[in-house]
Each structure stands twice: as structure tokens, then as C-alpha cells.
Amino acid sequence: MVFVFIIIAYLIGSVPTSVWIGKRFYGIDVREFGSGNAGATNTFRVLGKKAGIPVLIIDILKGSLAVALAYFSTFTINSYNFINLQLGLGVAALCGHIFPIFAGFRGGKGVASILGIVICILPLASMFSLLVFLIALFSFRIVSLSSMLAGVAFPIILYFVLGNTNPILTSFSIVVATLLIITHRKNIKRLLQNKESKVALFTSKIK
């Protein structure tokens, strides 16, 4: 039964929101434009906010919905197993978002889906991390940098600010931070070259 839930979570994560919306309503594949990434940021960049907003919301919900599958499982007999199942489902959905079976395994970086996952599992830590993201975004106007800073802040907030003592959750937070850095390798290179795109705040697209 747990294996079936993991597969379902992966399939939920695999829904390529930006690709489907781009092709259905705009006749283009967002992965062929902008950064080449099938995520909300590139959707904003290529298609504007009318496409970017629903992509962002749905990608967040994908992570939350996958984690919520844990509530339908009879496997969870205690809180420890329940958290482990939530984490497993979240990771499966994240893998689906990054490597979607419905879009040739070319997906996004997983930032929005990670947010949906951690909101369900660690809501307070996710809110603090989101605050870090917003402060960085308004300070630097660079989405990739803001995402990485929020990701790195996540395990720090969880351990030092909120006093988490669960080693599984600590490990998960470190994996999240590491994954965000890995998936933003090209962005880091552009940041070092001072070529990374900046957000034109309160307008429809990313420059």
C-alpha cells in the first residue's frame, strides 16, 4: 500500500503545469524559451502573470496534495511513521516535478512544490523561510538567489530557531537546501557572471 501511495505522489508531482498551460493556451513549450526551465519563474518570464500565477499555485498544491495522501494510509500507527510517510510522499512528488514522466522527464527546479510540501509538514519553519525569500526578493529582485537563500535558511531556522530535535526532519531540511543549490547550478553561474535575470516587481514579467 505504501508503495502505491509513493507512485501516486510521484504522478501528482509529474503533472507538468507550465508545459501544459503553455502549450494549451499559448501554443509554446516554456522549456524552449527563457531559462529553459519548466517552473513558475520561467512561466512568469515567458508568458506573464496570467499564466505564471496559476502555475505557481498548482505547483505548490502538488506538493501539499502528495503529502496529504498520508492521511489516507492505514500504515501510519504512530507520529514517527506518519512523518516518515509524509516525507517519503513529498520527496516522491518532488522527484516527479523535477523529472516528470508526462513531460519527457524535463521538469522544473521544484521550489514551489517544496514550499507545498514543507507547509504541510513544517508550517512554522516554512513561513519563516518564506519570509527570508520575500526579504531577499525585494532586496535583490532575483528569484533564484532568493530561493537558494530561503532554502539554506530552512535547516538553520528549523534547528536553531525552532529547536527541532527530530533527526529525520533535520536531515530532510538539509536535503531540501542541498537540492535547491544543485538544481540552481546554472543560476549560480549566471549570478557569478552578473547575468542573472531580475524581477521587475509589480509588473507582469521577469526581465
Positive or negative: CA dihedral 120, 124, 130, 132: negative
Q: What is the pLDDT of residues 49-96, one digit of tens each?
A: 999 999 999 999 999 999 999 998 876 567 778 889 999 999 999 999
pLDDT value of residue 194:
94
Q: Which residue has the cell 518570464?
A: 45
- 203 in any annotated domain: no
> Which region holds residue 194: left if phi is over 0, alpha if psi is between -120 and 50, else beta?
left
Q: Is the pLDDT at 205 greater than 70, yes or no?
A: no
pLDDT value of residue 56:
97
pLDDT value of residue 78:
73
Distance between first and last Cα of the chain: 46
Q: Among residues 63, 89, 64, 61, which one has the least CA distance to residue 76?
A: 89
Domain that holds residue 37: 2-192
Residue type present at position 8: I
Kindly state the average pLDDT of the residues 116-125. Answer: 95
Secondary structure (DSSP) of 184-199: THHHHHHHHTT----B
- Categorize the per-residue pLDDT at 1 as very low, low, confident or very high, splitting at 50, 70 and 90: confident
Q: What is the pLDDT of residues 3-49, one digit of tens each?
A: 999 999 999 999 999 999 999 999 999 999 988 999 999 999 999 99
- 146 in any annotated domain: yes
Report how far apart, in Å, the C-alpha atoms of 67 and of each of 52, 83, 115, 168 are: 23, 10, 12, 16
pLDDT value of residue 203:
56
Q: What is the pLDDT of residues 156-184, one digit of tens each?
A: 999 999 999 899 999 999 999 999 999 99
Phi, psi of 141 (to 5 degrees): 60, 30
Report how far apart, in Å, the C-alpha atoms of 128 and of each of 5, 40, 42, 100, 111 are: 29, 21, 25, 29, 15
Grid coordinates of 50:
496570467
Residue type present at position 79: S
- Categorize the per-residue pLDDT at 188 as very low, low, confident or very high, splitting at 50, 70 and 90: very high
- 198 in any annotated domain: no
Q: How many domains does the chain have?
A: 1
Grid coordinates of 197:
535575470
Query: pTM for the full model?
Result: 0.88
